[in-house]
Amino acid sequence: MAIEPVNVMEFQQLAREALPKMYYDFYAGGAEDEFSLKENMEAFRRITLRPRVLVDVSRINMSTNILGYRISAPIMIAPTAMHKLAHPQGEVATAKAAAASNTIMVLSFMSTCTVEEVASSCNAVRFFQLYVYKRRDVTAALVDRAERLGYKALVLTVDVPRLGRREADIRNKMVAPQLKNFDGLFSAELESDSGSALEAYANQTLDASFQWKDIAWLKSITNLPILVKGVLTGEDAIKALEAGVSGIVVSNHGARQLDYSPATISVLEEVVHATKGKIPVLIDGGVRRGTDVFKALALGAQAVLVGRPVIFGLAAKGEAGVRQVIETLKTELELTMALSGCPTLKDITRKHVKTEKERLL
Ligand code: FNR
């Protein structure tokens, strides 16, 4: 009998048992030494809480607004590629779970279900993640379809001018499936004699010359708000503001791109300070506990996004598994708020956490 997970980490083992090694390694792995992969989680552990007692916590309200859309808790689904490699229903199952948990799913540009299939499968608020391809017309076509289909925002991923070296994928010669979203638009070379075909595919398609000024091009082809995902410094946060984006996602791509990039939670405050409250700042990377969500909010994030745990939930139990992952994080966050004396998200302040640096002072 498989164990019944009591926290989101326990889904990882179930996913490992459910998946072929090549796919499990693809989902679980990071770049090179996987230093940042471990750090994303460890850095959360180095932050402690400063709870307040004797506050009325008989009712806890976790609901929040993201770009004007109300969701049940500040926990969203990060864009991750190719959900059909985890479960036959793919992104449709994930989207249904997002709807059931009343949260926002960010659909990956590299999805295995089409933008149309996901849109018609449920009434979740959906955002659409973008890569800019050398073939700008391909990106523009997807933007146009997403906008017509009622996706509410674009999440432009800015940390992949080229694909990071994910050594497990190189060893396993990770495959690159033909993605249905691109049918009729273009076909890429999906074979690689050596190493990861995904890397070969990415490096063939991605526009490594795309820069801050080119966000004007994206704005010229859409009316949707644009979030940039992959900012890790105050300097770039200021550039994002200047480019007129509607929000930032602090992210190191789940440590799959530049190894030794900082743990995201360790740079969140720097980005929040640089934006001076002008636009919302979200974060992803290593969120595995309700306490992690609480820490991110205390350090200025409006919400977190969750990547791997959602995929592991999907691999283990399909839609129900994704729902269980989100609901478990919500349960933990609610309890953390109660035990910290914070009945609403507004009550969570900077003074509810102590970073490692502050502890050493
Ligand atoms: C990702 N991520 C990602 N990001 C993106 O913008 N587009 C994508 O297609 C993908 N694909 C993808 C696949 C897999 C298997 C993983 C694990 C990650 C990055 C993702 O959005 C997010 O930044 C991280 O997953 C967050 O870290 P955690 O929650 O996985 O630790």
- pLDDT for the residue 124: 87
Query: Is any ligand 1 atom within 6 A of the Cβ of residue 164?
Result: no
- Percent pLDDT > 70 in the chain is 99
Query: Is any ligand 1 atom within 6 A of the Cβ of residue 78?
Result: yes
Distance 305 CA to ligand 1 centre (A): 9
Ligand 1 atom with the smallest distance to the CA of 155 is: 6
Query: Is any ligand 1 atom within 6 A of the Cβ of residue 27?
Result: yes
Note the Cα 268 to chain centre separation in Å. 15
Q: What is the pLDDT of residues 200-245, one digit of tens each?
A: 898 899 999 999 999 999 999 999 999 999 999 999 999 999 999 9
With the most atoms of ligand 1 within 8 angstroms of its CB, the residue from 8, 77, 80, 292 to mutate is 80
For the record, the structure tokens of 221 come out as 């082809």
Name which residue leads in pLDDT, 359 or 50: 50
Note the Cα 290 to chain centre separation in Å. 16
On average, the pLDDT of the chain sits at 96
Is 71 in contact with 101 (CB distance < 8 Å)?
Answer: no
Cβ atoms within 10 Å of 335's Cβ, excluding its own? 15
- Interatomic CA distance for residues 148 and 135, integer angstroms: 21
Query: Is any ligand 1 atom within 6 A of the Cβ of residue 36?
Result: no
- pLDDT for the residue 87: 98
The protein residue whose alpha carbon is closest to atom 6 in ligand 1 is: 157
Is 90 in contact with 68 (CB distance < 8 Å)?
Answer: no
Pairing of strands 353-354, 48-49: antiparallel
Binned at pLDDT 50, 70 and 90, residue 194 comes out as confident
Cβ atoms within 10 Å of 4's Cβ, excluding its own? 8
Q: What is the pLDDT of residues 44-84, one digit of tens each?
A: 999 999 999 999 999 999 999 999 999 999 999 999 999 99
pLDDT at 349 over 90: yes
Distance 221 CA to ligand 1 centre (A): 25
The continuous run of DSSP H or E covering 44 comes out as helix 35-45
Note the Cα 276 to chain centre separation in Å. 23
Can you give the pTM of this predicted structure? Answer: 0.98
83 is known as an active-site residue: no
- pLDDT for the residue 191: 72
For the record, the structure tokens of 278 come out as 């002008």
Is 165 annotated in a binding site? The answer is: no
Is 272 in contact with 281 (CB distance < 8 Å)?
Answer: yes
The ipTM is 1.00
Distance 350 CA to ligand 1 centre (A): 27
Is 351 annotated in a binding site? The answer is: no
Residue reference for tokens 């674009």 = 154
- Interatomic CA distance for residues 36 and 228, integer angstroms: 20
With the most atoms of ligand 1 within 8 angstroms of its CB, the residue from 107, 156, 250, 253 to mutate is 253
Distance 253 CA to ligand 1 centre (A): 5
pLDDT at 189 over 70: no
With the most atoms of ligand 1 within 8 angstroms of its CB, the residue from 250, 252, 256 to mutate is 256
Rounded to an integer, the average pLDDT of 128-157 is 97
With DSSP H G I counted as helix, E B as strand and the rest as coil, what are the percentages for the chain, rounded to 5?
45, 15, 40
Is 285 annotated in a binding site? The answer is: yes
pLDDT at 190 over 80: no
pLDDT at 2 over 70: no
For the record, the structure tokens of 14 come out as 């179930």
From 95-99, 123-127, 141-145, 266-270, the region with the lowest mean pLDDT: 123-127
Cβ atoms within 10 Å of 215's Cβ, excluding its own? 21
pLDDT at 192 over 80: no
For the record, the structure tokens of 148 come out as 């017509």
pLDDT at 1 over 60: no
The protein residue whose alpha carbon is closest to atom 14 in ligand 1 is: 80
The protein residue whose alpha carbon is closest to atom 29 in ligand 1 is: 307
pLDDT at 29 over 70: yes
pLDDT at 17 over 90: yes
